[in-house]
Structure 1
């Protein structure tokens, strides 16, 4: 049996559709009509979980649920709130899993554990010294470290997956907004941002990797980076969004220095860095260790993200 958290989210929905098995225990705050086995579970709860009886037949937990990263967090203490869910909530579940003799715990973390940018640097690897900068990344890093320690103490196998931006049909946030602007034919000023490189991962490739990690013997107690293994500049990303939506690429060439100047004047340097800078992942370790390669192309993921049910 497999236990899954975050099943109602963007990644979780695709995972459930791809698993194609009925022997799944859902752990969450709302019941899915397609699955009978369900246990109320709240990552933010301070109460005892008492899940041992429910988890005793579970072989693998796939933990996707999290307090997600947002650009402008209005919390008075963002780090404390991220820790409560992403660190303590994760560890509470993992401890119960270990008590129930769950064999493997797969934790979907974030590339933000490595850092925010690879501009002027080599791509991130699974062996880099972590350099999390924001509360979300810090909370994920702390969860990773405590999970690995718990694994050593209990013998439960820990698998950590760090994805970058995940996209696909139903994607929201900045990716969705950019796709929508391209669909509407707006002349976006990004044609000259062509020397940066960004790693992305389609939800379909990420789910395929998760499925491999369920049983692969080499996955135990290792950290894996996930990507499509095909990095894009901002200009290339906009061009591909136009292509898959059957639109002309109306991007105009505004020099990169203009963006950087605007970032300084408006105190938005971090936003401009994400737009013009690089964030690349080297997934050689993932591919070699698991004998895995992303089965879906970037264009495949962009096409599904551009479904008209998603972009309006």
Structure 2
């Protein structure tokens, strides 16, 4: 039987499909357009925009497991009504449409990539706080996080009605080869020696390397104990923003140019220039306690944080040289 991966051309989808192919698994990747970059040897099927009317029937033929990564994320910080509706249509209604058609096609297991943002944007910045875990109450903020939480609830109801084995994964920030957005911009700044006003920040943030997350998803798609469960997953090594920058600088063999600017000043400037959400991610803490997946599935990250950063910097160098 075949595993179907949606969003196969995306950052995480690419990493996951490569991991499945390396394992000798039969995997089919869903892409939006045929010309999009995909791993060599991957069977692909083109499906239209993610939404409540998307037709997945051809893609689902002969599949036993679905791993749903595709999502609308680019409007995550946009509070407009149109942005909320867009996220809801793609991430909630679109997910439910796929899951219902998966049930009709005889799919046994449905793995849904959600987000740690379902729990909120920050955890208390205390050394004794182990971080969010699966039993903490949801407190999503913004269209993206709310749409993911609503999708989780809809999948739970469908599982109760149909017997579909749903597994939910809630990762924090994912980095690795192909990473984009803020993490890529941070690497570019460190590589160019740009002074960063973050030396006085004392926070703690969990991350997960794309290869580690891919292995966790693969395990969750197969392990009998994962059926009906929700798992948080991370590298297990929370770091402060300055520590992350220093680690990247070591990999780039460059000095970490950190200026000790008071965090309150940075937050004020972020609000002034309408970058409040991005600044909060640099200043605030968000820690994940992933003890459950380690205990129930015996999962351990195969790469440490520093090893993951090293692999990501190597990709960045190859990308810059090409």
Task: State the TM-score, normalizing by the size of structure 1.
Answer: 0.91
Q: Secondary structure at the match of 2:221?
A: helix
Q: 1:6: which partner in 2? A: 7
Q: 1:66: which partner in 2? A: 71
Contact 1:176–1:311 (8 Å) recurs in 2:
no
Residues 1:180 and 2:188 are matched in the alignment: yes
Contact 1:22–1:35 (8 Å) recurs in 2:
no
- Work out the number of aligned pairs and report it: 310
Shift of 1:74: 8.9
Q: 2:96: which partner in 1? A: 91
Stretch of structure 1 that moved more, 301-310 or 80-89:
301-310
2: CA distance, partners of 1:246 / 1:213: 37
Q: 1:309: which partner in 2? A: 318
2: CA distance, partners of 1:233 / 1:208: 25
Contact 2:48–2:54 (8 Å) recurs in 1:
no
Shift of 1:206: 0.6
1: CA distance, partners of 2:159 / 2:252: 46
Shift of 1:142: 0.5
Q: Secondary structure at the match of 1:191?
A: coil
1: CA distance, partners of 2:291 / 2:71: 27
2: CA distance, partners of 1:249 / 1:199: 20
Deviations 1:4-63 (A, max 9, x none): 111000011111111123622233323458457443323435546261x65352111011
Contact 2:75–2:83 (8 Å) recurs in 1:
no
Contact 1:4–1:27 (8 Å) recurs in 2:
yes
Stretch of structure 1 that moved more, 282-291 or 40-49:
40-49
Extract structure 1 runs of 4+ deviating beyond 6 A: none
Q: 1:25: which partner in 2? A: 28
5+ residue gaps in structure 1? none
Q: 1:164: which partner in 2? A: 172
5+ residue gaps in structure 2? none
Q: 1:42 aligns with which of 48, 51, 54?
A: 48
Residues 1:147 and 2:147 are matched in the alignment: no
